[in-house]
Amino acid sequence: MYAQVIDTGSDRVRAIGEMPEEEKVFMARIEKGEKIEPKDWMPEGYRKTLIRQIGQHAHSEVVGQLPEGNWITRAPTLERKAILLAKVQDEAGHGLYLYSAAETLGISRDEMTELLHAGKMKYSSIFNYPTLNWADIGAVGWLVDGAAIMNQVALQRTSYGPYSRAMIRICKEESFHQRQGYDLLIKMCQGSPEQKAMAQDAMNRFWYPALMMFGPSDKDSVHSEQSMAWKIKINTNDELRQKFVDQTVPQAKYLGLTIPDENLVWNEERGAHDFTQPDWNEFFDVIAGNGPCNKDRMAARVNAWKDGAWFREGLAAYAKKLPLRKQAV
């Protein structure tokens, strides 16, 4: 899942008249809906913004495996274990497609990994929250993958070809993720009172962090405008958040779960729900590294990188020897 653009760091939006000739051609192609490919000319800001966005997205897929991976050995049935294993494996695959897409922009996967470990590249804030009970696995699939899909469906039309093509494949798998989460919660909500209570507890803890996944409100999202002009971003954060709330309310009703927001009400005039915004101070605090699980997540990633050193070295040594062997033959 999981693009959450906090700061795209791009240039301000320029008028067409201010642009050099090649940039005018580039903008005309974007406006026509043409895809930009790796060897095409692109403004430096476009390239950097994409590296940041795709890199952050790739890291989120990989770090996102940690809260769920924690439950593979605790899954209550063989069937649930197989489903969860498949889902977590999909997320690793999403990370790989996205690292590959970012590499076409002139950064290596190793460099991105180093930036993540140095705290210079981020991943989605949601994965800094713990998964405390089995119903959390349902809530992650339903709400977290659900919020991710909301973002990613639009990104299938993003202007950068490799990113857009990766998103088409990812979206197909994400809808399976959301459905397995919802299916798990249906079972729990129709189960014993204790199981229903676990589902409600998961809903209470994941609702606001899921709303945060769309990033800060449009008025505080400084670089949205440029990203939208470049069609790197298709909808605003607030539009997507609203869509997510409107989609989720009837689903929660069907489960018999209460959304933890007393102000949540249908607004006839707007044709949408009014709802309470998440605590943005908490969001910025989590992004800054002070969430409940930030340190654990980073330690797990850094250790995995260290533990895999022997394997990467082996691969590099083999790659070096291969041409020599071919020569000898």
Residues that bind Fe ion (CB under 5 A): 1, 61, 91, 94, 145, 174, 177
Q: How far is the CB of 111 from Fe ion (least distance, A)?
A: 22
Q: How far is the CB of 232 from Fe ion (least distance, A)?
A: 19
Q: How far is the CB of 29 from Fe ion (least distance, A)?
A: 29
Measured from the CB atom, the residue of 1 and 83 that comes closer to Fe ion is 1
Measured from the CB atom, the residue of 93 and 308 that comes closer to Fe ion is 93
Measured from the CB atom, the residue of 52 and 87 that comes closer to Fe ion is 87
Please report how many Cα atoms fall inside a 13 Å half-sphere around the Cα of residue 229, on the Cβ side. 20
The neighbouring-strand residues paired with 117 are: none
Measured from the CB atom, the residue of 61 and 103 that comes closer to Fe ion is 61
Q: How far is the CB of 91 from Fe ion (least distance, A)?
A: 5
Measured from the CB atom, the residue of 103 and 174 that comes closer to Fe ion is 174
Count of H helices and E strands in the chain?
A: 14, 2
Place of tokens 């102000």: 263
Picking from 97, 99, 93, 102, the residue whose alpha carbon sits closest to that of residue 65 is: 93
Amino acid at residue number 267: N
Q: How far is the CB of 89 from Fe ion (least distance, A)?
A: 11
Measured from the CB atom, the residue of 42 and 83 that comes closer to Fe ion is 83
Q: How far is the CB of 145 from Fe ion (least distance, A)?
A: 4
Element (H, E) at 272: strand 272-274
Place of tokens 């070809």: 161
Alpha-carbon span 67 to 296, nearest angstrom: 10
Alpha-carbon span 206 to 123, nearest angstrom: 17
Picking from 104, 135, 157, the residue whose alpha carbon sits closest to that of residue 201 is: 135
Q: Are 45 and 10 in contact (CB under 8 A)?
A: yes
DSSP string, 297-312: HHHHHHHHHHHTHHHH
